[in-house]
């Protein structure tokens, strides 16, 4: 029997909201190529994953995050 450790959601555990203006937090959830990482890899719950993806997209549109790694 393999038991996987249940990952806690970063936003639920710290009781913080997803904010598109917080680039430092959003950078934790994208890889080197600035692609949004899946919730299974980051451990974020589904509700916050949806909020996170829209916040990252909004930050890209407003040029707070670069759309690519270059």
Task: Give residue 24's domain range.
Answer: 10-61
Instruction: Tell me whether residue 50 is in a domain.
Output: yes
Instruction: Tell me whether residue 25 is in a domain.
Output: yes
pLDDT of residue 23: 92
Query: In CATH, what number is assigned to the domain containing residue 38?
Result: 4.10.640.10
Measure the CA–CA gap between 51 and 33, rounded to whole angstroms: 20
The count of structural domains within the chain is 1
- Which residues, at least 6 apart from 66, have a Cβ–Cβ distance to it below 8 Å? 34, 60
Instruction: Tell me whether residue 51 is in a domain.
Output: yes
Measure the CA–CA gap between 69 and 34, rounded to whole angstroms: 6
pTM: 0.86
Instruction: Tell me whether residue 70 is in a domain.
Output: no
SS3 of residue 36 by DSSP: strand
* DSSP structure string for 44-68: --HHHHHHHHHHHHHHHHTTSS-SS
pLDDT in 10s for each residue of the chain, 70 residues? 556 666 689 999 999 999 999 999 999 999 999 999 999 999 999 999 999 999 999 999 999 999 988 7
Instruction: Tell me whether residue 67 is in a domain.
Output: no
Instruction: Tell me whether residue 29 is in a domain.
Output: yes
Instruction: Tell me whether residue 68 is in a domain.
Output: no
């Amino acid at each position: 029997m393999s038991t996987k450790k249940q990952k806690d959601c970063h936003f639920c555990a710290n009781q913080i909201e997803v904010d598109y203006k917080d680039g430092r937090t959003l950078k934790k959830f994208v890889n080197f190529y600035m692609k949004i990482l899946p919730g299974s890899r980051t451990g974020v719950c589904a509700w916050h994953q949806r909020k996170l993806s829209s916040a990252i997209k909004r930050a890209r549109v407003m040029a707070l995050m670069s759309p690519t790694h270059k």
